[in-house]
Amino acid sequence: MGALIPIERHGIIGDGRSAALVAEDGTVDWLCWPRFDSQACFASLLGDGGGAWSLHPVGGWRARQRYLTDTNVLRTTFSRPEGEVTVTDLMPVASEEEERRLLLPEHELIRIVECTRGEAEVETRVRLAPGFGTQPTVHRQRSWGGYCVETRTGAFFIRADTPLHWDQGGVHARFTVRAGERIHLSLIWSPEGPAVLPPVREGSEAALERTSQFWRSWVSAAQYAGPYQEAVRRSALALKLLQYPPSGAFLAAATTSLPERMGGSLNWDYRFCWLRDSAFTARCLYGLGYRDEADAFVYWLMHTTVLTQPRLAVLYDVYGNAPRPERLLPQLEGYGGSSPVRVGNAADGQLQLDLHGEVIDAVCAQVHSGGSLDGESRRMLVEFGDLVMRQWQQPDASLWEYRTAPQHHTHAKVLCWTALDGLLRLHQRGLLPRLDANAIGRAREEIAAAVRSQAVDVRSDTYVSTFGGDAPDAALLLLPWYGFEPASSPRMRATTARVLRELGAPGGLLYRNPVLRAEGDGAFLACSFWGVECLADGGGTLEEAERWFQRLLAHASPLGLYAEEVDPGSGHALGNFPQAFSHVGLISAALAIEERRRQAPLRSWVQPEVRA
């Protein structure tokens, strides 16, 4: 295996159907087609047999990556004293109007090499490994140049405006570029014929223009005007890359099996939609003014989960189906030897009591933002309420998805309270006339009483992780977020202070809880941002919140991206990448800070008593 490139030294590009990771050395080492959760054709990130597309100048060059301003078009610059070469990577996207007007490939990855100074010899090698390296392929040279690689499920077309050769099981080229010259390379995947194959040079330039314009136009609609624009916009762009527009769903991350612990076995497939993330994602999208995306997402929540309702599964695929059963890929050794590599996810079988609260909170955010509820949604919400009343007293696996014996987790109980509280608020607005408000109200008070009597450590007067326990948990920072208790209350302030003190890691980071910390868990970025939000909402001063937020910004990758966790010792990213939950946390914290600064509500759904 080649030198291991840290997770955070990757950029992501995508087109709303799939995404690719491009390492700092110019190698595309992750790409699944046609969908995020399809089998990968490039997966060398997880092992040598996974396939990759390398593209870089020959010899020793210093590389750095950046995005073209306000886009998801990635530019890797290779430089040394005698020259400079850039590689611009994109997966083309188009507006609806352009899709009506133009013939466009369904799936394409474009790479444009440009010499900006001096001269350079550039080498590229495309080593396709469809089906995580398990699908047989047949290649043919095409009369116009380039190669067609046929697989069982479709055909790849590798083309360039420079000669390509078949060599050692892949396409290879070595060419010289001089200052001002541009070479274009294209990889297209087409499941059906005839494939759309634009002319490489003109097609790539037009796609670059179109794609840059698309992203700039999209991000310009963000309504955040605070001092952290760059971070917020990058997070919004990363989040948008993880949306699957045909259904409105958001994925947790673009990858599988990037380890939560280097060399360990905590390697999960995150290319699915966790309902847990739904309230955070919806609030964040409404907060930024992305109403279309938010409405589509809430619609997805309510309607594509219909097969399991009123029960909700932990996760779904982009069309609301259960993920494939978890299986191992022994042909891949794993990132940095962290095996096994998994596809599919087994977390689906767990009881996690917080899910209904998350979904109902997302619906409340939609309604507070001016949305309405159709008859079917009203009926489902009433059924959700009945189910929550029946099951809130059961132990569960918690939001951290423990695979040990279920317990009574405080966060889960509070989310049951959130679910019922949200339903009552909708009822008060006249949207749920058939809700048994008296029964729901009684159950809500019972849950609140149970939490306040069984989930409090009397000595420190702080909330604790489990009923009858005494340990803190970073998830408790969310109690104000859900409206259970104001961040400025004495008990919540004490809880926040305890979490920060006992779960704090260097650099403003937080561990999730003492148990996971003892097991070698990294610092969890979303929790760290929840801490900022808690301070901004009244748990601390504005200055404290900002200072902490700025420390967390320092943990972003050079491109402003976040994985799920950070190893506080080495500073390296851990877990799947980039992670929607972390970016949603950043945006939410930035909105909370801005709201505190302006003393004006930006998050219309947050109840007044929760604000500072």
Q: Which residues bind another protein (CB under 8 A)?
A: 99-104, 106, 138, 143-145, 148, 150, 152-155, 157, 190-199, 202-203, 206
Query: What is the nearest approach in angstroms of another protein to the Cβ of residue 154?
Result: 7
Query: What is the nearest approach in angstroms of another protein to the Cβ of residue 141?
Result: 12
What CA–CA distances, in Å, run from 208 to 21, 212, 213, 316, 559?
A: 18, 6, 8, 33, 19
**Which residue number, 47 or 203, has a Cβ lying nearer to another protein?**
203
**254 closest CA partner among 564, 559, 478, 556:** 564
Q: What is the radius of gyration, based on Cα positions, of the chain? A: 25
Query: What is the nearest approach in angstroms of another protein to the Cβ of residue 166?
Result: 18
Query: What is the nearest approach in angstroms of another protein to the Cβ of residue 560?
Result: 33
- Tell me the pairing of strands 52-57 and 107-127: antiparallel
Quote the strand ranges of 517-610, DSSP E: 523-524, 565-566, 573-574
Q: Give Cβ neighbours of residue 313 (< 8 Å, ≥ 6 apart).
A: 275, 305, 322, 348
What CA–CA distances, in Å, run from 110 to 26, 175, 398, 547?
A: 13, 17, 42, 40
Query: What is the nearest approach in angstroms of another protein to the Cβ of residue 423?
Result: 38
Query: What is the nearest approach in angstroms of another protein to the Cβ of residue 248?
Result: 18
- Tell me the pairing of strands 573-574 and 565-566: antiparallel
- Sign of the C-alpha dihedral, residues 571, 584, 318, 350? positive
Residue 202 buriedness (CB in 10 A; 0-12 / 13-18 / 19+):
exposed
**Which residue number, 143 or 453, has a Cβ lying nearer to another protein?**
143
**Which residue number, 148 or 587, has a Cβ lying nearer to another protein?**
148
Query: What is the nearest approach in angstroms of another protein to the Cβ of residue 190?
Result: 7
Query: What is the nearest approach in angstroms of another protein to the Cβ of residue 207?
Result: 11
Q: Give the chain's end-to-end CA distance (angstroms, integer).
A: 52
**Which residue number, 191 or 520, has a Cβ lying nearer to another protein?**
191
The two most distant CA atoms of the chain are separated, in Å, by 79
Distance CA 252, CA 280 (A): 12
